[in-house]
Structure 1
Amino acid sequence: MLQSDHKDLELVIKSHIPLIIAETKEERRVINMLTDLGFRLGLPLYQWSVTEGLARLEFEAPTQKNLAEPQELLKHIKSNTVASIYVLPDFHPYLDDPVTVRLLKEIALNYEQTPSTIIFVSHDFDVPPEIKMYTAHFELALPSSMKLDDIIRDEAMKWSEKNKYQKVKTDQKSMDQMIRNLSGLTAMDARRLIRRAIENDGAINEDDMPEVMEAKYKLLDRDGALTFEHDTAKFTEVGGLRNLKRWLKLRKDVFLGEDKSLEPPKGVLLVGVQGGGKSLAAKAIAGMWGLPLLRLDMGGLYNKYIGETEKNLRDAIKTAEVMAPCVLWIDEIEKAISGGGSDTDNGTSRRMLGTILTWMSEKDKSIFIVATANEIDRLPPELIRKGRMDEIFFVDLPVAEVREDIFEIHLKKRELVPGDFNLKELAASCEGFTGAEIEQAVVSGLYLAKEKGETLDNTHLLEEIKLTRPLSVVMAEKMTALRLWASDRTVNADIG
């Protein structure tokens, strides 16, 4: 892997491209590679720093502190007639200045006379359009599974040496899972995470995985519409959804790679009434499968500048791929792509839809998609046809038996004893309620009991239920139409 990086960088330099961008956090690694290449290519190698100026790397020489100012540096490079390599770390903040950009362009235009190469090293680099045609990107290869295994074993050995040669406790399953979770990170970042996992308890086990994945997400330094959901759920916290639970249980081992006899599942679309439990189900899928959960807020992708919305989506997808294996929860997917056939937003919705569909068809990473939607009529047919998702589940209003379960869940959650309540009576009194509305009845009942200085019982809950106008009443026509649409187009998430 290391030799491959050397060869790739050497090839880019020999390609006579004046400006090379190495977008990485591993600055020291790039500089070490360039030091080796400088000797091999017989070219002077300089490193610049805004704090120190310009210094020769192959041997000790006085630092030219007078060249710490970016424009003075570029004027010096432009006037130098000896072909050289210049490494410019963290130069990106100075590219807002038109004079700086012009100087870089003039250096590039003069490459035939003086073939000097400037290599920018930065964690983030936006190329100004004026110099884009003179640039090339160089990417450091990420460590392979074999290399990650070596890193883990190396860190385990270091821990052992510091702790009287105790062995780090682990097993092959945990090792394999840790390697999967570290994939997509640089060697430096992977080493930091595994070191922290081992230091906690001298072990590598399943308990380390959630913390590692959360730390991995933070290392990616992504802002915007994609968020890491720290708290997943258990399906014991979700009432009903028996069909969905059975479907997921059957496919768990295949998706996680423990059973390779079948094609892994792609994802599901959950449609239904607001407050019906779609969001909680998405969290429970991640919890059931032991995977990190990323939530993509489609509405949060939008930006007023042309092209930025699509870029935000591509960045979110890229992050999800680095986090794989994971569950990607696309919340209220209809918000961003419902205008797929119109030009009212300058075609942004149509392009967003195209990006999502292409990625869903071509993705090769272990990302299980859970898309949720409240307004199915706003979803384009290209998205909901068979093949895009494995199944479309309809989350309907809970039946009486499930309403009992939901009451039990929310009473236990508040450290109350379900046996002290008549759950059948409560369930019968709230027909047409969603899970969220049942929970709110419990919350309101507790406030009512507190006001009266009493312990919560059926009386308080029944009183609050009586005062509630559920969505099934407030939006009866819309609810009826939704259930009618779903009756022969979807699979009921709870009952067959």
Structure 2
Amino acid sequence: MKNFIELFVDARAVSTPLIAVRTFDPASTIRNVRKALDNEHAKDKNYSDATNTPLISWDAIHGLRGIGEANGPGAAALNQMAQLADIMLATTVDLATALGVLEYATENVIAFIHNPHLVWEQDKRTIQGIWNLRDGYKANGNMAVILVDVGATLPAELNQDTLILDEPLPTRDELKTIITDTFNYAAQEDKYKACKNAATPAIVKEAVEALVGLPAFPAEQATAMSLDKISGKLDIEQCWDRKRTIVSTQGMEFHQPKDILKDMYGNEGFAKFATRLMEGEFAPNVILRVDEGEKQFAGNGTDSSGSTGKLLSEFLSWIEDNKVIFTLLLGVPGSSKSWSTWCLAGQYKKPFIKFNVAAMESKYVGEGHRILRENERKVEAISDKKIWLIMTANSLNGVPPELISRAQRGGIFFFDVPSEQEKIGIMKLKIARYGLDANQPLPEMNGWTGRDIDNCAARSQMLGVSLVDAGKTIVPLMTSHRQEMEELREYATGRFLSASHEGIYQKTDVPQSQKNVIQPVVNAGRKIR
């Protein structure tokens, strides 16, 4: 499959007049196009390089201006257009006016139009103005390059006449170049000579992992800010922090969990499945978690605006097109569905992203769709398209069947109330975590989930009381909402995989607790297989 630059060169070779480039970094796009022109000139001296090609840009602040030298081909071509149109260049901050000037381009011109999607919603003339360039530009070998956001869509009037290209985020090889260039640039000054040869393969590899998923400019800035030029050392953790800030956008939070599988207890069936996947041939590079899916996708068929349904449709297509491994974790609230995935990411040192599709909705038509596509592109770049999507749910009411069906590859697991042994194991972990007396009696934990046990230990620490006394303040869902919980457990019987053990889930009676005394905590938690 051809890359962005190859597709661009092919389009120019056949005089494609209108191209829309969906990009995270318009400046990087222009630099890459200029490099492409120079590369083609190196192969064929009759091919105009970037210096001799009339390059023009438009943005809402500067209007039309030439790219390159003040008296270069771009500026000269633009002045000629303005004279023919009898329009002062200062007035071209108005996009409709600027498009009228661009109609007078003679030949071989490449005009970059920045963010027209921010204008055409309010000024429909711009749509007509862009379309008016089509025939004249085709005849004279000119090209209008529309630079839009990665999630933007074109107006219907332009869609069929415009070639749409997606410029990907920098590859790992391109990031290597950015990182080594930053070291080499710093090393040019004698006082920073420690940077010379400091970009070792090991350091560059770590930095690439930290920066993959960022556009070129912020990746370069993050490297420069994290580089101690005096010592020549790169702060990898600071690079991760920078990515965490940039990647965490509307509906998406980036994390690096420190908790591991030893910090959870029970759910052996799911843990074994996850361990085999993470250590196998198809191990994912990122874990993407959608919490409480029954709430996020509720109303997708009844939403009068249609926005929820469109987001779901885009999300389903993305899962299918990218062969995303999708697992559904259904179960009693508080049964460690979310905690298991968190510890799993920490165990294997994988980026962990909370993905909230509902939070990507917007009051503006089409905006939520754009945000979702942009976030999907970021996940693809971070993961090299090796993605494990895990959705948790406390009920399947509201979860669309077409979404459930896509979880068959990654499995649907049911998380039940923990067994008596699991509850004791979880309590050992919580006693250690909250620094409690390991020899005190346990409360009765009838119907408790992992969250109830955590709440009991936390209250014991917070109130300065024993676990038994703290346990008297716990009312588990199996008591307050017993009917709903029993209906959920009954529904799951024979339908889904058991998170507690390998095989199909079968409902059993909720175990009754006996009074116990916990021995001093030694190696609490599971053994890592």
> Normalising by the residue count of structure 2, what TM-score does the alignment of the two structures yield?
0.67
Deviations 1:41-95 (A, max 9, x none): 9764333455445444465437764343323322222345666332333444332
Amino acid across the alignment from 1:291: K
Does residue 215 in structure 1 map to residue 242 in structure 2? yes
Amino acid at match of 2:472: K
Question: Does the 8 Å CA contact 1:17/1:134 hold for their aligned counterparts?
Answer: no
- AA partner of residue 32 (structure 1): R
Residue 430 of structure 2 corresponds to residue 410 of structure 1: yes
Out of 289, 297, 318, the position equivalent to 2:356 is 297
Instruction: Say which structure is richer in helix.
Output: 1
Q: How does 1:438-457 map to 2 (within 5 A)?
A: 438-445=453-460, 449=463, 456-457=464-465
The structural deviation recorded for 1:273 is 0.4
- Residues 1:401 and 2:421 aligned together: yes
Q: 1:171 to 1:49 in 2, by over 3 A?
A: closer
Q: Of the candidates 252, 271, 275, which is equivalent to residue 334 of structure 2?
A: 275
**What is the distance in 1 between the residues matched to 2:259 and 2:208?**
24
Q: How far does residue 437 in structure 1 lie from its aligned partner after superposition?
A: 1.9
Distance 1:144 1:31 in 2: 17
Kept in 2: contact 1:276–1:436 (CA 8 A)? yes
The separation in 1 between residues aligned to 2:432 and 2:90, in whole angstroms, is: 70
User: What secondary structure sits across from 1:46 in the alignment?
Assistant: strand
Q: Please tell me whether the aligned partners of residues 26 and 114 of structure 2 are also in contact (alpha carbons under 8 angstroms).
A: no
> Which residue does the alignment assign to 1:47?
57
CA-to-aligned-CA distance 1:198-217 (integer Å, 9 cap, x gap) = 5498556xx936x5455335
Match of 1:164 among 188, 191, 194: 194
Task: Report the Cα distance in structure 1 between the residues aligned to 2:247 and 2:232, rounded to whole angstroms.
Answer: 26
| Cα pair 1:143 1:186 within 8 Å, conserved | yes
CA distance in 2, matches of 1:87, 1:302: 30
1:282 to partner: Cα distance: 1.5
Cα 1:90–1:183 shift into 2, 3 Å: same
Structure 1 CA distance for aligned equivalents of residues 56 and 185 of structure 2: 35
SS across alignment from 1:88? strand
Whole-Å separation in 1 of the counterparts to 2:56 and 2:274: 57
- Deviation, 1:7, is 4.8
**Residue number among 438, 442, 445 corresponding to 1:419 in the alignment:** 438
Per-residue deviation, 1:468: 3.5
Unaligned runs of 5+ in 1: 259-263, 326-364, 450-455
- 1:121-153 Cα deviation digits (max 9, x unpaired): 355554333333332234446544444444444
Name the CA distance, whole Å, in 1 between partners of 2:356 and 2:406.
24
Aligned mate of 1:483, from 483, 489, 500: 489
Distance in 1, Cα, partners of 2:247 & 2:240: 11
For residues 275 and 53 of structure 1, do their structure 2 counterparts lie closer, same or farther at Cα, with a shift above 3 Å needed? closer
Q: Could you say which residue in structure 1 is the equivalent of 2:31?
A: 29
The CA deviation at 1:470 is 1.6
Q: Would the alpha carbon gap of residues 489 and 16 (structure 1) be closer, same or farther in structure 2, given more than 3 Å must change?
A: same
Query: Contact conserved, 2:57 with 2:66, CA < 8 A, in 1?
Result: yes
- 463, 466, 475: which is aligned to 1:469? 475
Judging changes above 3 Å, is the alpha-carbon distance between structure 1 residues 273 and 202 closer, same or farther for their aligned structure 2 residues?
farther
Letter aligned with residue 55 of structure 2:
L
Deviation at 1:276, TM superposition (A): 1.3
2:455 corresponds to 1:431: no
Give SS of 1:22's match: strand
* CA separation of 1:383 and 1:19: change in aligned 2, threshold 3 A: closer
Change (3 A) 1:117 1:240: same
User: 1:214 touches 1:228 (CA, 8 Å); kept in 2?
Assistant: no
Q: Is the 8 A contact 2:331 2:416 kept in 1?
A: yes
- Residues 436 and 461 of structure 2 are in contact (CA less than 8 Å); yes or no, is this contact kept in structure 1? no
- Per-residue Cα deviation, 1:338-394 (whole angstroms, up to 9, x for no partner): xxxxxxxxxxxxxxxxxxxxxxxxxxx221222212114665666667983344333
Deviates more, 1:124-133 or 1:283-292: 124-133
Kindly state the Cα deviation for residue 163 of structure 1 after the two structures are TM-superposed.
Answer: 4.3
For 1:386 and 1:130, the matched residues in 2 are separated by 35
CA contact (8 A) 1:170 1:203 kept: no
Output the CA distance in 2 between the equivalents of 1:236 and 1:383. Answer: 32
Closer/same/farther in 2, CA of residues 321 and 291 from structure 1, 3 Å limit: same
Q: How does 1:105-254 map to 2 (within 5 A)?
A: 105-111=131-137, 116-123=142-149, 126-140=153-167, 142-158=169-185, 162-164=192-194, 168=198, 172=202, 176=205, 178-180=207-209, 182-199=211-228, 202=232, 208=236, 212-213=239-240, 215-216=242-243, 218-219=245-246, 222-223=249-250, 225-229=251-255, 231=257, 233-254=259-280
For residues 203-240 of structure 1, what are the alpha-carbon distances to aligned partners after superposition, in whole Å with 9 as ceiling and x for unaligned? 56xx936x5455335445742x3332355533333233
Q: Which amino acid aligns with 1:368?
A: W
Structure 2 CA distance for partners of 1:57 and 1:317, relative to 1, 3 Å: closer
What residue in structure 1 maps to residue 93 of structure 2?
A: 69
**Aligned-pair distance for 1:472?**
0.8
Q: Distance in 1 between matches of 2:415 and 2:164?
A: 47
Taking the aligned partners of 1:129 and 1:494, their CA distance within structure 2 comes to 52
8 Å Cα contact 1:276-1:395 kept in structure 2: yes
Matches within 5 A, 1:219-368: 219=246, 222-223=249-250, 225-229=251-255, 231=257, 233-254=259-280, 266=325, 268-300=327-359, 313-324=372-383, 365-368=385-388
RMSD across aligned positions (CA): 4.2
1: distance between equivalents of 2:161 and 2:349? 46
Of 66-75 and 29-38, the range deviating more from structure 2: 29-38
For the residues of structure 2 that align with 1:57 and 1:135, how far apart are their CA atoms?
A: 23
Shift of 1:312: 5.6
2:156 maps to a residue whose letter is P
Cα distance 1:199–1:486, how it changes in 2: closer, same or farther (>3 A)? farther
Matched to 1:47, the amino acid is: S
- CA distance in 1 between partners of 2:411 and 2:282 (Å): 19
User: Residues 266 and 51 (structure 1 numbering): CA distance in 2 closer, same or farther, change over 3 Å?
Assistant: closer
Per the alignment, in what secondary structure is the counterpart of residue 478 of structure 1? helix
**Paired residues of 1:142 and 1:185 also in contact (CA < 8 A):** yes
CA distance in 1, matches of 2:501, 2:125: 68
Deviations, residues 259-313 of structure 1 (Å, cap 9, x unaligned):
xxxxx99454322100111111121111111011112234435568887766665
